[in-house]
Structure 1
Amino acid sequence: MNPITTALLGLSVADAIGVPVEFQSRDELDKNPVTDIRGYGTYNQPPGYFSDDSSLAFGLAESLATGKFDLVDQAKRLINYKEHGYWTPEHQIFDIGMTTQQSIDKLSSLLRDGREAELPTLHESARESDNGNGALMRIFPLYAYLRDKPVTEWIAPIWQHSALTHGHIRSACCCFLYLRFCAHLIHKETKEKALEFARRELLDFLVVANLPIEELDALATLIKADFSTLARTQVQGSGYVVECLEAALWCLFNAEDYRDTVLKAVNLGRDTDTTACVAGAPAALLYGVESIPANWLAALARREDIIELGNRLAGVYKV
């Protein structure tokens, strides 16, 4: 199976494992840990139903499958999700982040007023509060568009897409590190080497960008930490983009297969579906689609649609 389809299945299955226990605390999950696929719970959804994390990733994949990087089209698909349940399990929304919701309303206003030209510059008005994990969770499909481009050309489209909802440079840096990490996994590097190379590439960008010291401080753990020795108490499954990526990497570096990676992510608590989603794509790339438990994959909502979308996107960019 091609890596695009593998990753889309990996992120959406993981998302679905986390959905029933979203917002539960770590203490609650330590007492009743998730050990297999569940249903209902937080949102009363059947087993295998994915959240906005996957839906918005699929919307980006659909846009890129047109063969273009088109911010207007990407914005329209975000709007379509909020207004019509686009790419949800049953064309009905049951979960959407507050920042994402507010940002999509702003996109609707811009397009309604004929101000599409402002889309590429949304990051210029970003605030530090625009650092939720809503861009990170959906960013993987952008790999298909970027894969053959020089690394120095990756940050601009990543930041432009991220800024449709989360425009701060910190969010863009996390998305960049994550995508480069996935790229190196696709090229069959070990997870240790993949992170080493991605960190080096992020540092190259940071030197050129000359970011304020507080940004370097915020990214310090992502850049320096040995996630294989970091204690579980030092990571948080939160909605903050930096902590979300730290938690996903911690899970990847403290597990030896897809199943254990995802369960570790979910059982960190709080933003369970997104932590799992962010860990799920690289875990599937690392261990293969065959590593996804068969009963999890069988239960996944719209599984055949996801496979068709992944194959179509991979075909457009010859991945």
Structure 2
Amino acid sequence: MTTLTLEDRITGSLVGAAVGDALGGPVEGYTPEQITERHGGRVTGIVGPWHADDWRTARPIAPYHKGDGHVTDDTLMTHALVRVYATVRDHLDAYAAADHLVPELIARPVWIPELEAEALPLQRIFLAEKWLVARLHYGHVDPREAGTGNIVNCGAAMYMAPVGLVNAAHPAAAYAEAVDLAGAHQSSYGREAAGVFAAAVAAACVPGATAASVVDAALALAKDGTRAAIEAVAEAADGHTDFESALRPLRAAVAPFDTVGPDYRAPSLGARRPSRLHSIEELPVALGMLLVGRGDFRRSVLGAVNYGRDCDSIATMAGAIAGALHGESAVPAGWAKQIAEASRLDLHAPADVLAGVAREVFARDTARRRAHEAAFARLTGA
């Protein structure tokens, strides 16, 4: 049995997240039935825009070229966070979001695949992510509290895979760091989901980890409605080995915890408000599809894609965890190559950078731990 290296797991996770994102983007917001009708069956790979050549005008609020292998804001934010780690080269907190992530969004043009142009990430990210700029750059709010008042969604969770990878094999540390960092962006169960997703990615890096052990690690740390939702979805996933039969049961299991309601494009009046009783939909479903697919990348990600609704983020999360479990070889090379070319992104460069940072941070943690041990020994006379 070959032991995967840290580098292989980080590459698998970041490339896997981007692949899931690009596959889910063109069918985001629709039901499984609508997806089947539009594409003549389930999505099994890269597809074109939902509205074909009318993608610029069909939805004026989102004039984006989703499809054809283009990644979305999930990947743009993930790569921005990797660049923050490359600058700080240590653990991050809410102040790092203010000092480093916001400048990445408003001062560093990058290629935006869905706009087919070089632009600031700010010009692509959605309103819940623009909140970071409004609150931190213009409002000068305390970064630890800046997430309060934002809509509660998966906005912070969707790009937290790097936190789990820097804390590889240490889910509790990943959870704590992500909860701190996400305080600048989200509150309530949105912030909680960021912590639990990072923990799941870290747990996937443990040698010998499985889909079941990842979910167990997530449940050990999750709180309130997020924990209850993951439990319900995991129970619903039990016994299913094919996403086709699991689509309805997983949706039914997460529905009591999801505030958006049955029509994703017309959210309920109580949608996305803080609550200890609720959960975002994306993370529990991603974990559920991971269980249904037994951790297999293709099966887990395609299950997430064909689930519909916010499926680009669901598939991003499923892809990040499955990629960390099995390394880059688990991610279909043809998909990764086509997506990298279509999106004009080097999907491997961020992984190379983050692997180096992870090793540096571990060395710093080791030195800090030893200094603490020595001080405590003197303190106690041991």
- TM-score bracket relative to the smaller structure: 0.7 to 0.9
Partner of 1:23 in structure 2?
29
Q: State yes or no: 1:91 paired with 2:105.
A: no
Quick check: 1:104–1:165 contact (8 Å CA) kept in 2? no
Partner of 1:133 in structure 2?
154
Q: State yes or no: 1:263 paired with 2:302.
A: yes
- 2:229 corresponds, among 217, 221, 246, to 221
- 5 Å-filtered alignment, 1:95-244, equals 95-110=124-139, 115=140, 118-123=142-147, 126-127=148-149, 130-147=151-168, 151=172, 153-168=173-188, 170-187=189-206, 188-202=208-222, 206=223, 216-217=224-225, 219-223=227-231, 225-229=234-238, 231-234=249-252, 235=254, 242-244=280-282
Q: Give the 3-state SS of the residue equivalent to 1:226 in structure 2.
A: helix
Question: What do residues 18-43 of structure 1 show as CA deviations (whole Å, max 9, x unaligned)?
Answer: 11222222220133321211233353
CA 1:178 to 1:156, structure 2 compared with 1: closer, same or farther past 3 Å?
A: closer
Q: State yes or no: 1:77 paired with 2:101.
A: yes
User: d(CA) in 1 for partners of 2:220 and 2:169?
Assistant: 19
- 2:291 corresponds, among 250, 253, 266, to 253
CA 1:87 to 1:119, structure 2 compared with 1: closer, same or farther past 3 Å?
A: farther
User: d(CA) in 2 for partners of 1:121 and 1:164?
Assistant: 6
CA 1:145 to 1:263, structure 2 compared with 1: closer, same or farther past 3 Å?
A: closer
Bigger radius of gyration? 2
Quick check: 1:2–1:314 contact (8 Å CA) kept in 2? no
- Work out the number of aligned pairs and report it: 297
CA 1:15 to 1:85, structure 2 compared with 1: closer, same or farther past 3 Å?
A: farther
Q: Give the 3-state SS of the residue equivalent to 1:2 in structure 2.
A: helix
User: d(CA) in 1 for partners of 2:320 and 2:344?
Assistant: 15
Task: Return the offset for 1:270.
Answer: 1.9
Unaligned stretches of 5+ in structure 2? Answer: 1-6, 56-63, 239-245, 265-271, 273-278, 363-382
Task: Return the offset for 1:102.
Answer: 3.0
User: d(CA) in 2 for partners of 1:263 and 1:274?
Assistant: 13
Q: Give the 3-state SS of the residue equivalent to 2:155 in structure 1.
A: coil
CA 1:227 to 1:120, structure 2 compared with 1: closer, same or farther past 3 Å?
A: same
Question: What do residues 249-302 of structure 1 show as CA deviations (whole Å, max 9, x unaligned)?
Answer: 121111142112111111111212111111110111223322222221111236
Range with greater deviation from structure 2 (222-231 or 174-183): 222-231
Identity %: 25
TM-score (norm 2): 0.68
User: d(CA) in 2 for partners of 1:149 and 1:22?
Assistant: 32
User: d(CA) in 1 for partners of 2:103 and 2:47?
Assistant: 30
User: d(CA) in 2 for partners of 1:87 and 1:164?
Assistant: 25
CA 1:21 to 1:157, structure 2 compared with 1: closer, same or farther past 3 Å?
A: same
Partner of 1:309 in structure 2?
350
Q: Give the 3-state SS of the residue equivalent to 1:306 in structure 2.
A: coil
Quick check: 1:79–1:107 contact (8 Å CA) kept in 2? no
Equivalent position amino acid for 1:131 in 2: V
Unaligned stretches of 5+ in structure 1? Answer: 207-215
Task: Return the offset for 1:86.
Answer: 3.8
Range with greater deviation from structure 2 (63-72 or 178-187): 63-72
Over the aligned positions, Cα root-mean-square deviation in angstroms equals 3.0
